[in-house]
Structure 1
Amino acid sequence: MLLKPKKTKYIKIQRGRLSRVVSSFRYLKGGSFGIISQESIYLTPHQIESARKVISRYLKRKSRILINVFPDYPLTVKPAEMRMGKGKGNIKSWVCRIKKGSVIFEAISVEDKQIYQAFQAARKKLPMRTFIFRCCYKKKKN
């Protein structure tokens, strides 16, 4: 199951800038562990899916996995040996723009050791430097 948006307002988007750092540290939304990026990069749906499969294989449905990224940015490519001009190329693939310091995966579980092992294996599938963050704060009960 490869991810791509069902519908977008504009199909082709200008490239923009990827190198900016996330302004402040993003706390985990609900998980106890998280994988946080240390580089800005484009992440493909194949890479997200392979990391998700590794995590789910290690955890064996004993915990919940949160994926905080979605490939919503189109990469366009012109055909080979095409002259300059004549508009923007066709969409080659959809990617996710990951900025430095953003949370990619989170997991909620009872056993911390299993989550840590699963995230260590998932880090090998990702094409960037990441680190595993353990959430040690407790949310206030209302």
Structure 2
Amino acid sequence: MPKRQKYRKSQRGKIRGKANKGNTVAFGEYGLQSTQAGWINSRQIEAGRITSAHFLKGSGKVHIRIFPHKTVTATPQETRMGKGKGEPEYYVACVKPGTVLYEIGGVPKEVAKQVMNRISHKMPVRCRFVERREE
């Protein structure tokens, strides 16, 4: 959840195109990159963080590259039409194809692959394992 925001409620919008920012591994050696567009819930992001922390048992460093800025509103069940927009229910991060979701450093490639595989099971979008490119 963001600390401050300009507007309480946001429109849904459309996720168009591929990611041109945040699409390379910048902080760790290995990353988890989305291959689909979609919304990732704040709870799903947290589930991935807990999974990685549990598997690594204190070794290595995990970087979360996405943040849930967008509010998703909902009206209560069995409410009649009208009466305006619903109240904010939860927060999501809008993810384009190519966005790096998580990064990991300080562990061997095999361990990183296992961790990212476990995290990808928690994600609502398809993901792939990527390595840092040396330039």
Same fold (TM over 0.5): yes
For the aligned residue pairs, the C-alpha RMSD in angstroms reads 1.8
Deviations 1:58-105 (A, max 9, x none): 222211110011111000112334444433211111111111110000
- Cα distance in 1 for partners of 2:68, 2:34 equals 16
- 2:115 aligns with 118
Choose which of 42, 56, 79 in structure 1 pairs with 2:53: 56
- Kindly report which structure 2 residues correspond to 1:33-72, keeping only aligned pairs within 5 A, or say none: 33-72=30-69
- 1:7 aligns with 4
TM-score, normalised to structure 2, is: 0.89
Conserved in 1, the CA contact under 8 Å of 2:22 and 2:100?
no
Q: Give the Å deviation of 1:24.
A: 6.5
TM-score, normalised to structure 1, is: 0.85
Deviating more after overlay: 12-21 vs 121-130: 12-21
Structure 1 residue runs of 5 or longer lacking an equivalent are none
Conserved in 2, the CA contact under 8 Å of 1:37 and 1:100?
yes
- Cα distance in 2 for partners of 1:30, 1:23 equals 17
Distance 1:80 1:25, change over 3 A: closer
Conserved in 2, the CA contact under 8 Å of 1:109 and 1:115?
no
Q: Give the Å deviation of 1:36.
A: 0.3
- Cα distance in 2 for partners of 1:64, 1:6 equals 24
Distance 1:134 1:98, change over 3 A: same
- 1:132 aligns with 129
Deviations 1:13-39 (A, max 9, x none): 122211432236721112100000011
